[in-house]
């Protein structure tokens, strides 16, 4: 069922644009379909890329190897056909979280150098959040910064990682610890690419979608409750609505606090202090990011209950929605000491103290300091079913 009177409007082709409002660095998120595979054998329509950046002499496609043939090749061919004045190169990246590493970024910098990348080159990230974060960081740092465009190919990347300019890599003991804020020139979403996305990876993206409902938009949360089945089945209308609503939430928050200085942007980190500790301590890639976020949100909601910020009903509503999205809400076991060590390196830590994003009601969260370590431990234990 898709029934929200505030559903985003669409143009005749059912394409839609959401703007990330950042003054003269504002950029569009274009939500399209049938653009990459092209209509009636015409090849990819790369107008979104060519409109996004003027005076380009060189396109560098940084591509997840799993989507290279099917989704990046048509883009490369269409860019190639623009003419002799523009070069196109492709750098393939192995799939998976372990590619967000010091070794990978070093390899990419050297390949960019060998390909003659300069400040009139534009990087195009084609892949999920891993390639988006990695390619974005390469663009932010090579030659002290070249332009880039995000072409997200996972649901998670469409609703979250391609928007807002957080780029970077992991260290073995700390997720996203090295990176830069570097905004893309545009985000080009083509929902057709989800046709090849495995179910588990697709559902992982729903973890971040649920997050927006809890942190920012109670009406969207209710809509998700009504439409979870459709989303799991990938109903096209439900999916487009969820992508647009998520992008609108993220664009609004990023526009208000681009570099997470006022604290507003930190709300996007709901569940993430726990999630990043789960990812790092279980080995990157064991839990997908959105799955870890789902479990992390459960831990955060329990922490909020423990300190009297919200009641048990919020946890139940959140758990029910996560379960309806076929996401995990618990894990069998956890190395809590190791998790606490990783959590201490969270970027929200201030004066050595952990700070958490915690809900007071559906649709509202706050950044909270002075949390007792024992409450953190108890929240993890309750979520792994130990207490």
Ligand X SMILES: O=C(O)C(=O)C[C@@H](O)[C@H](O)[C@H](O)COP(=O)(O)O
Ligand Y SMILES: NC(=O)c1ccc[n+]([C@@H]2O[C@H](COP(=O)([O-])OP(=O)(O)OC[C@H]3O[C@@H](n4cnc5c(N)ncnc54)[C@H](O)[C@@H]3O)[C@@H](O)[C@H]2O)c1
Count how many Cα atoms sit within 13 Å of the Cα of residue 242 in the half-sphere of its side chain: 37
- Within 8 A by CB and 6+ apart from 234, the residues are 194, 202
Residue 130 within binding range of ligand Y, rule CB under 6 A:
yes
Stretch that binds ligand X, among 8-16, 265-273, 333-341, 362-370 (CB under 6 A): 265-273
Q: Is 166 annotated as a binding residue?
A: yes
CB atoms within 10 A of CB 240: 21
Residue 291 among the catalytic residues: no
Q: Residue 180 CB, nearest distance to ligand X (Å)?
A: 11
Q: Which residue is nearest to ligand X (CB)?
A: 176
Q: Is 154 annotated as a binding residue?
A: yes
Q: Which is nearer to ligand X, 177 or 225 (CB)?
A: 177
Residue 208 among the catalytic residues: yes
Q: Are 49 and 126 in contact (CB under 8 A)?
A: no
Q: Which is nearer to ligand X, 64 or 258 (CB)?
A: 258
Residue 176 within binding range of ligand X, rule CB under 6 A:
yes
Q: Is 132 annotated as a binding residue?
A: yes
Q: Is 100 annotated as a binding residue?
A: yes
Q: Are strands 186-190 and 27-32 parallel, antiparallel or unpaired?
A: parallel
CB atoms within 10 A of CB 182: 19
Residue 265 within binding range of ligand X, rule CB under 6 A:
yes
# chain residues binding ligand Y, by CB under 6 A: 30
User: In the window 157-186, what residues touch ligand Y (CB under 6 A)?
Assistant: 157, 160-161, 164, 166, 176
Q: Are 122 and 112 in contact (CB under 8 A)?
A: no
Tell me the C-alpha distance between 132 and 186, whole Å. 12
- Angle (CA) 237-241-242 rounded to 5° is 115
Q: Are 290 and 156 in contact (CB under 8 A)?
A: yes
Residue 269 within binding range of ligand X, rule CB under 6 A:
yes
Residue 272 touches which member of ligand X, ligand Y, none, C-beta under 5-8 Å by kind: ligand X
Catalytic residue from among 16, 147, 211, 265: 265
165 burial (CB, 10 Å; 0-12 / 13-18 / 19+) is: buried
Q: Residue 153 CB, nearest distance to ligand Y (Å)?
A: 4
Q: Could you give the 3-state DSSP secondary structure of residue 326?
A: coil
Tell me the C-alpha distance between 356 and 273, whole Å. 7
Residue among 92, 208, 279, 291 that touches ligand X (CB under 6 A): 208
Residue 203 within binding range of ligand X, rule CB under 6 A:
no
Tell me the C-alpha distance between 247 and 181, whole Å. 18
Q: Residue 312 CB, nearest distance to ligand Y (Å)?
A: 28
Alpha carbon 14 to its chain centroid, in Å, reads: 23
Residue among 45, 160, 190, 279 that touches ligand X (CB under 6 A): 160
Which of 147, 111, 338, 287 is closest to 103 using CA atoms? 111
User: In the window 83-112, what residues touch ligand Y (CB under 6 A)?
Assistant: 95-97, 100
**Interface with ligand Y (CB under 6 A):** 64, 66-67, 95-97, 100, 127-131, 133, 153-154, 156-157, 160-161, 164, 166, 176, 193, 196-197, 201, 204, 288-290
Residues of each annotated binding site for NAD(+): 95-100, 129-133, 153-154, 166, 175
The catalytic residue positions are 144, 166, 208, 250, 260, 265, 269, 272, 276, 289
**Interface with ligand X (CB under 6 A):** 160, 164, 166, 175-176, 208, 265, 268-269, 272, 347
């Amino acid at each position: 069922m898709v029934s929200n009177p505030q559903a985003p409007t669409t143009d005749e082709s059912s394409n839609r644009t959401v703007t990330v409002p950042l003054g003269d660095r504002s950029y569009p998120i274009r939500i399209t379909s049938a653009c990459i595979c092209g209509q009636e054998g015409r090849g990819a329509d790369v107008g979104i890329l060519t409109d996004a950046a003027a005076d380009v002499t060189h396109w560098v496609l940084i591509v997840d190897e799993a989507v290279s043939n099917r989704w990046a090749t048509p883009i490369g061919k269409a860019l190639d056909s623009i003419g002799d004045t523009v070069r196109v190169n492709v750098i393939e990246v192995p799939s998976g979280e372990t590619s967000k590493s010091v070794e990978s970024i070093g390899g990419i910098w050297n390949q960019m150098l060998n390909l003659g990348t300069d400040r009139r080159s534009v990087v195009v990230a084609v892949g999920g959040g891993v390639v988006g974060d990695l390619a974005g960081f390469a663009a932010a740092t090579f030659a002290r910064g070249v332009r880039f465009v995000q072409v997200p190919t996972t649901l998670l990347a469409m609703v979250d990682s391609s928007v807002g300019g957080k780029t970077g890599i992991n260290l073995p003991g700390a997720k996203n610890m090295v990176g830069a804020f570097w905004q893309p020139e545009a985000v080009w979403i083509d929902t057709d690419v989800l046709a090849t996305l495995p179910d588990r990876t697709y559902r992982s993206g729903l973890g971040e979608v649920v997050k927006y409902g809890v942190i920012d938009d109670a009406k969207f949360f209710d809509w998700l409750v009504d439409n979870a089945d459709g989303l799991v089945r990938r109903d096209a209308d439900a999916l487009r609505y969820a992508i647009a609503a998520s992008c609108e939430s993220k664009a609004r928050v990023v526009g208000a606090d681009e570099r997470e200085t006022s604290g507003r942007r930190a709300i996007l980190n709901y569940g993430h202090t726990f999630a990043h500790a789960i990812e790092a301590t279980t080995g990157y890639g064991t839990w997908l990011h959105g799955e870890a976020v789902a479990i992390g949100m459960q831990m955060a909601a329990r922490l909020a209950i423990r300190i009297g910020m919200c009641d048990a009903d919020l946890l139940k509503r959140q758990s029910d929605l996560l379960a309806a999205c076929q996401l995990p809400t618990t894990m069998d076991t956890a190395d809590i000491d190791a998790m606490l060590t990783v959590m201490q390196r969270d970027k929200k830590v201030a004066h050595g103290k952990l700070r958490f994003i915690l809900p007071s009601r559906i649709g509202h969260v706050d950044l909270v300091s002075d949390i007792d370590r024992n409450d953190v431990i108890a929240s993890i234990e309750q979520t792994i079913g130990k207490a």
